[in-house]
Structure 1
Amino acid sequence: MNWDIERTQKTPIYQSIMKHITQNIQNGQLLPGQKLPSERKLAAIIGVNRSTIVRVMAELEAKGIIKRQQGSGTMVNDDKWGLSQEPVVDWHQLIQGQQTDEHQLLMTQIKEKSQEEGVIDAYTGELPLDLVPAFDLPQSNWRDFIEADKNQDALGYFPLRQAISNLVAQDYRFTLPVEHLMITSGGHQAIFLIVQALLNSGDAVAICQPSFLYALNLFQTAGIRLFGVPMDEQGMRLDFLENEILKHRVKLVMLNPTFQNPTGTTMSLARRQALIKLCQTYKIPIIEDDAFGLLPFDKRTNVPPLKKLDPQNVIYIGSLSKIIGSTTKIGWISAPLAVLEKLSIARQDLDLTLSIFPQVLANYALSDVTFQDKLASLRAQINVRMTYFLDLIGQDFTCHRPAGGFYVWLKLSTDTLTKKQMDAFLSAGILCLPSFVFGDKTPAIRLNIARLNRDEIKRLVEKLQELKQVGIC
């Protein structure tokens, strides 16, 4: 096959190579299943760096045009490519994405079950209405919001950024400069922007295993490779992390070290310091998701965020959604100015506008003189519910005792966790998330105890004990 690539000044060379390969598949010069030259050989033939060919192959694989098999090399995807001038898009694969049918079916079943009376909803990752702090809002009209919008720039509403900076200074005793803060529509948008702006298809990201990040489709959609790192009682295992860094050229380490989702584990100070040192050695940035950091049961035992320990190399994500309700959708990113500029441009390119309304409402809440008292009351109420659950469950199950946040990671006494078992949980009216959603094979479930009142917690424990007696859990 002819590998003479048409080169133009306006088109990056990797795009020209991608176009050349795609056109030759379309016109039948490259046939389904046909093996392509190795990356090294192809780079020599075309006269480019091997890294260029690596990027070409990663993007073509993400589009489903080629496929790679260990030990067999790279070949044209064995479908309808090459049979006509206009290849047929595999809409089924595009819609289905990376999640298995089993995962999708389970999520659908849980959502349908949540509409029934009397179910125990330990699944939803939000506070119940009775725990959401109530703040009195000042009288305002439409013009007030229009006027407030004048205080918003590409990084968000300035008074809210200042209020967040003050909150962090009060709770964590360190400073997030206002000029280094960008408001987002919740923590998930913050992660989405980081993926879009800082990563390319084929990049490797190290995360904890288990982790809620496995449940986010945005990584699969962007072609990002996630590598799970085992955890112990102190957090992410750094010996395993270093192995992943050396094997897969990890570009970012992304984790939520405080009251981790789903396990509730908090990374120790010594482990945090060692993590920072390891990432500094390999020059790898850390993305710290601190969604639950404001919810310790005892502030005296709170461990400082990674951002406080290493302000320059940690991108910090915070959120108010776990405190004042998800409908407000307020999160933030603290990062170096150059990174914030890139994230801001990505948001504008994606047309992810940031409404002034939730920002003003969040600023009202943070500026309320009762905010700290209500936050302390919220922590205490969650702690009461968590203590009641753990006291009732006793020695019947193995579960980590979290020092804050919403979740309990309850390990089952069975060797596996199957769909049949999850069906039994649903039939018993227990809504929860299984370990495999979080990329883990350990038979365990995540329970949002903060969401349950005293009666619901009692019924939950009774039902779990009944299911254990019949060998379900």
Structure 2
Amino acid sequence: MNWKPNREDKKPIYKQIADYIEQGISSGEFVPDSILPSERKLADILEVNRSTVVAAYEVLQSLGLVERVKGSGTRVSSDIWGLSHKRIPNWGRYIEYGSFLPNLPLVQRIRMETQDNHLINLASGELSPELFPIEQFQTILSNEPFIGHLGYDHPQGNEMLRKTICNHVEEYKNIKTTPSSILITSGAQQALHLIVQCLLKPGDAVAMENPSYSYSLPIFQSAGLRTFRLSIDQNGINPDDLLALHRKHRIRMVFLNPDFQNPTGVVLHLLRRKRILDLSSELGIPVIEDDPYSLTSFDGKVNSTLKSMDNNGNVLYISSLSKIVASGLRIGWIIGPTKVIERLADAKQQVDFGHSIFPQWIANQFLQSNHFESHIVMIREQLKHRRNQLIASLNDILGDQIKFNSPGGGIHLWCKVNSGINEYQLLEEALKVGVAFVPGRIFGSEKGFVRFTFGRGENDLIHEGVVRFASALRNIQS
């Protein structure tokens, strides 16, 4: 055996050994029913610990490739090809080597834990079910006959809905556009995927805020992009930082969440918005504006979006109904130059042949109705009340142990815990006592930060959630 594991490879050595033997079995080097070297002998040959070989053999055994009998050693399975000369694929290997990366394990863990109805959920980035417009939707479904066909729709999405969105964004956000410049997507998440996959290539440099929700998404790593961070202060990112990054790394695209940014709640200052657009025009850098929260402004004033100030077609604007109507509706959209929208629409067609007609139909009816305006007013009032309740509870229960700025909209509160804690350890303890939050490092921040989502927290449970969080904090401090 001339092969040796590569100690500089990021893959664990036991997996390298298991892969090597599996390949040998496939090629016939290790024939069925042959005896493999003992654990101790193979460890000596490969210059590794015996426990490493044991782990490799256990992987092969779990795949049905080898049989291990105490006192007889490890042998290649005699019926590995089966009666029909078929093998079970090594699904673990396929999963590991796929080019589309999984979510961070902690993100997966939080999503699984928050399915528990007994847990107070201050983690999930969505509205509480009691804020969904269920009655309004029932009224629409009862009174409005479905008008449309059940075949494949336009590649860019239902034309009636795109016309309605044109009116919607002009009325609420002063964005003037046309149906041909809009693509309907399955929420903002799909919009980001399409942009990354279609408009960038491996090795491209992109800039995003620090901290940022985008940092938690594996789509940038899956696409082989180089990501660079733009620090946030109380007025958002500093455009001069973007210029400096571009001079050093040739930034190809910048991703921004200007209004009530996730996770910090910060609003990008108007003068900085103008400077960013100037830089975009001077340097030819596209700006991706993610705008899920601007309509939640608690004082009812909606800031000028980058897209509304964009006179050159440099901004791709993403928004959705997920954070203001219902996350499960899965209605989002991209607004941009027609040729870009057509390219993204073609990619979406390859994935799903276009969006489902029923969510598009009910979204169209809802946006056109008087229900929408009254719903937005209700959402603003309710979210402001929940923000105030969360802040009051944090002040009463934790006092100077935690610091935060009060956001003027959105659904998140960004907090700095002042005790130098490990927020991952804190999350583990919090889950034990029945409350969930998101550790700040998921968003790329320095340690000691946490994000609470008051939009998801039920009205009467926010205070109890803070009580449980405080209990978890005491437990890890003791």
TM class, shorter-length: 0.7 to 0.9
Q: Kindly provide the amino acid, as one letter, of the partner of residue 125 in structure 2.
A: G
Deviation at 1:206, TM superposition (A): 0.3
Q: What residue in structure 1 maps to residue 160 of structure 2?
A: 159
What percentage of residue pairs aligned between the two structures are identical? Answer: 32
The answer to whether the 8 A contact 1:263-1:409 is kept is yes
Deviation at 1:285, TM superposition (A): 0.7
**Structure 1 residues 297 and 333, CA, compared in 2 at 3 Å: closer, same or farther?**
same
Aligned pairs (5 A) from 1:222-301: 222-300=223-301
The answer to whether the 8 A contact 1:110-1:431 is kept is no
Q: What residue in structure 1 maps to residue 418 of structure 2?
A: 413
Deviation at 1:304, TM superposition (A): 0.6
Deviation at 1:436, TM superposition (A): 1.5
**Structure 1 residues 376 and 106, CA, compared in 2 at 3 Å: closer, same or farther?**
closer
Q: What residue in structure 2 maps to residue 435 of structure 1?
A: 440
Q: What residue in structure 1 maps to residue 308 of structure 2?
A: 308
String of CA shifts for 1:72-110, please: whole Å, max 9, x gaps.
xxxxxxx97xx9999x9964642597669xx41563265
**DSSP-derived class of the 1:280 partner:** helix
**DSSP-derived class of the 2:319 partner:** strand
Deviation at 1:169, TM superposition (A): 1.7
Q: What residue in structure 1 maps to residue 65 of structure 2?
A: none
The answer to whether the 8 A contact 1:268-1:303 is kept is no
Distance 1:412 1:162 in 2: 46
Distance 2:163 2:199 in 1: 26
Distance 1:106 1:320 in 2: 23
Q: Kindly provide the amino acid, as one letter, of the partner of residue 376 in structure 1.
A: V
Matched, 1:343 2:344: yes
Matched, 1:447 2:452: yes
1:94 to 92, 97, 110: 97
Distance 1:356 1:443 in 2: 45
2:407 to 402, 407, 413: 402
The answer to whether the 8 A contact 2:111-2:124 is kept is no
**DSSP-derived class of the 1:252 partner:** strand
Q: What residue in structure 2 maps to residue 52 of structure 1?
A: none
Q: What residue in structure 2 maps to residue 123 of structure 1?
A: 123
Q: What residue in structure 1 maps to residue 354 of structure 2?
A: 353
String of CA shifts for 1:324-377, please: whole Å, max 9, x gaps.
212210001110111111111222233453111110010111122221011111
Distance 2:459 2:440 in 1: 25
String of CA shifts for 1:5-56, please: whole Å, max 9, x gaps.
xxxxxxxxxxxxxxxxxxxxxxxxxx999xxxxxxxxxxxxxxxxxxxxxxx
The answer to whether the 8 A contact 2:317-2:335 is kept is yes
Distance 1:416 1:274 in 2: 38
Distance 1:457 1:418 in 2: 20
Distance 1:463 1:429 in 2: 7
Distance 2:243 2:409 in 1: 28
Q: What residue in structure 2 maps to residue 422 of structure 1?
A: 427
Q: Kindly provide the amino acid, as one letter, of the partner of residue 309 in structure 1.
A: M
TM-score, with normalisation over the residues of structure 1?
0.75
**Structure 1 residues 472 and 431, CA, compared in 2 at 3 Å: closer, same or farther?**
farther
Distance 1:145 1:358 in 2: 12
**DSSP-derived class of the 2:323 partner:** helix
Deviation at 1:141, TM superposition (A): 10
**DSSP-derived class of the 1:321 partner:** coil
TM-score, with normalisation over the residues of structure 2?
0.75
**Structure 1 residues 140 and 357, CA, compared in 2 at 3 Å: closer, same or farther?**
farther
Distance 2:130 2:117 in 1: 20
Distance 1:339 1:96 in 2: 25
String of CA shifts for 1:279-328, please: whole Å, max 9, x gaps.
2221101000101122111123x321000111411110010111221221
String of CA shifts for 1:247-274, please: whole Å, max 9, x gaps.
2211000111111111111111111111
Structure (1 or 2) with the larger CA radius of gyration: 2
Deviation at 1:132, TM superposition (A): 0.9
Q: Kindly provide the amino acid, as one letter, of the partner of residue 137 in structure 1.
A: I
Q: What residue in structure 2 maps to residue 11 of structure 1?
A: none
Matched, 1:217 2:218: yes
The answer to whether the 8 A contact 2:260-2:408 is kept is yes
Q: What residue in structure 2 maps to residue 362 of structure 1?
A: 363
**DSSP-derived class of the 1:257 partner:** coil
String of CA shifts for 1:448-470, please: whole Å, max 9, x gaps.
10122332111122233344445
Q: Kindly provide the amino acid, as one letter, of the partner of residue 123 in structure 2.
A: Y
